[in-house]
Amino acid sequence: MKGVAILGSTGSIGASTLDVVRRHPGRFGIVALAADRNDVRLLEQCIEFRPAIAALASIEAAGRLAAAIRDRGLPTRVLAGEAGLAEVAVHPAASQVMAAIVGAAGLGPTLAAAAAGKRVLLANKESLVCAGHLLLEVVAASGAELVPIDSEHNAIFQCLPQPVAAGRCPPGVRRILLTASGGPFRNWSAERLACATPEQAVAHPNWSMGRKISVDSATLMNKGLELIEACLLFGVDPARVEVLVHPQSIVHSMVEYADGSVLAQLGNPDMRTPIAHALGWPERIDSGVESLDLVTIGQLGFEAPDLERFPSLRLAREAAEAGGTAPAVLNAANEVTVAAFLDRRLNFTDMARVIDSVLQRHDVSRVTSLEGVLAADAWGREAAGRALGSLEARSA
Ligand code: NAD
Ligand code: MG
């Protein structure tokens, strides 16, 4: 029986992970769960999976959860705040930790799980974007395993010769072909994009996901973050990663080799496939995902991304090339602008403008410590907040 801990259990990836675990009662046991503030959902999960510990970042919500757990006589110990999340990340009975907190908030717990030598199932791409080299160093030093959950990176992982050493490119690999659905606005004109609403942005045509990553998919910033993620995970320069828009989301990404061979991983767009792959690896286990019906799908299309309408992808590529603190600043500014867009304080197309202005003002420096990453993250958030403020003042 393998113990599993989930950071971000109440979210979209968290729910899909529990769905896969539920199919294998003798194989996996949930030992620890953590989330932000949804005590109602976490209580339901505690009732079903009876973890040893459950943590909420919100102290208030953790208090409500603790009372409800006591009332029901459940065995789960409830923890709160950052220390609680860290305990979930390093629980001794968990050999696998699903890192599925959204945003840079996942960085601390993800690093803690890696330092404790766990198999880290990495969905939280923002932690890798912010602190990539540090995270890889921690993985190498502790002997942890990093198995990517992002469908594209999981696909690339599957197309590379095994075992895959995190951060190192195997010989013979020429390029990585990273596929993108193009998001809900793939065919929208620039004028129409300026008026896109949060409701339209989160209605992804192929994938059902959390709100933040859905907005990132609509701007193509998600693909930009994934470009940075791919460079770090597989040890390649940005120039060796090509982004291809593939509207059907069936080919999840590809690896091109020196001899011209291109290996692809295909499947229905359902995150339970990469989750089951990572949980079971190197074995293959049932995920609940239906067989791929290529006859019904009929055609697979590919096109180049439009960097004029979707400048976020260009900004991310520039940040990947600049390296150092640039990706952390890009990510921080993106988190601030996505939140503002979801709050209707910022237009869809102004998100990239704000991020661009923040990056232009940033003096890139090398990343040598976690403190350096956190300082870059804080600087990016503050600079984006100021840029937002001046935009609001101008439109008032
Ligand atoms: P979501 O918004 O549905 O869930 C986020 C989870 O993180 C929730 O459980 C929430 O409680 C928790 N959380 C948020 N802030 C927190 C904090 N400060 N402290 C503790 N917990 C916190 O998001 P999601 O779609 O499940 O995405 C999670 C991560 O996985 C993101 O990094 C995303 O980019 C990545 N990812 C998601 C998908 C997908 O299909 N949903 C695909 C690839 C990668
Ligand atoms: Mg992805």
Site to probe by mutation for ligand 1, drawn from 209, 229, 331 as the one with most ligand atoms within 8 Å of Cβ, is 209
Same domain, 17 and 132: yes
Site to probe by mutation for ligand 1, drawn from 37, 102, 381 as the one with most ligand atoms within 8 Å of Cβ, is 102
Same domain, 307 and 365: no
Residue located nearest, by CA, to atom 25 of ligand 1: 210
Alpha helices in the chain, H assignment, sequence order: 12-22, 39-49, 59-72, 81-89, 107-115, 125-142, 151-159, 190-194, 198-202, 211-219, 221-234, 272-280, 294-297, 311-322, 326-342, 350-361, 370-395
Same domain, 249 and 336: no
How close is the Cα of 157 to the center of ligand 2, in Å? 13
Residue 318 lies in a domain: no
Q: How many domains does the chain have?
A: 3
Of 87, 119, 148, the one marking the end of a domain is: 148
Task: List the CATH number of the domain containing 330.
Answer: 1.10.1740.10
Q: State the burial class of residue 223 (Cβ atoms within 10 Å of its Cβ: 0-12, 13-18, 19+).
A: buried
- pLDDT at residue 208 in the model: 87
Q: From the CA of 10, give the closest atom in ligand 1.
A: 9
Residue 258 lies in a domain: yes
Residue 317 lies in a domain: no
- pLDDT at residue 118 in the model: 98
How close is the Cα of 395 to the center of ligand 1, in Å? 32
- The CB of 99 under 6 Å from ligand 1? The reply is no
Of 148, 181, 209, the one marking the end of a domain is: 148
- pLDDT at residue 394 in the model: 83
Ligand at shortest distance from the CA of 130: 1
Q: From the CA of 13, give the closest atom in ligand 1.
A: 26
Residue located nearest, by CA, to atom 5 of ligand 1: 11
- pLDDT at residue 395 in the model: 79
Same domain, 128 and 10: yes
Same domain, 73 and 215: no
Positive or negative, the Cα torsion across 122, 128, 132, 134? negative
Rounded to the nearest 10 degrees, what angle do helices 151-159 and 272-280 cross at?
50
Same domain, 250 and 159: yes
Of 283, 311, 339, the one marking the end of a domain is: 311
**Per-run averaged pLDDT (10 residues), the chain, 396 residues:** 98 98 97 98 98 98 98 98 98 98 96 98 97 96 97 98 92 98 97 97 90 97 98 98 98 98 98 98 98 98 98 98 98 98 97 98 95 97 96 81
- For 366, the domain range is 323-396
Same domain, 115 and 181: no
Residue located nearest, by CA, to atom 32 of ligand 1: 124
Residue 260 lies in a domain: yes
Residue 198 lies in a domain: yes
Contact between 154 and 98 (Cβ < 8 Å): no
Residue located nearest, by CA, to atom 20 of ligand 1: 36
| Residues contacting residue 389 through CB under 8 Å, at least 6 positions apart | none
Ligand at shortest distance from the CA of 99: 1
Same domain, 105 and 17: yes
Residue 316 lies in a domain: no
Site to probe by mutation for ligand 1, drawn from 6, 7, 10, 12 as the one with most ligand atoms within 8 Å of Cβ, is 12
> Distances in Å between the alpha carbon of 209 and those of 59, 109, 246?
26, 21, 18
Q: From the CA of 125, give the closest atom in ligand 1.
A: 32
Same domain, 144 and 159: no
Same domain, 111 and 208: no
Residue located nearest, by CA, to atom 23 of ligand 1: 210
Residue located nearest, by CA, to atom 22 of ligand 1: 36
Same domain, 194 and 100: no
Same domain, 186 and 274: yes
Task: List the CATH number of the domain containing 104.
Answer: 3.40.50.720
Contact between 190 and 349 (Cβ < 8 Å): yes
How close is the Cα of 36 to the center of ligand 1, in Å? 10
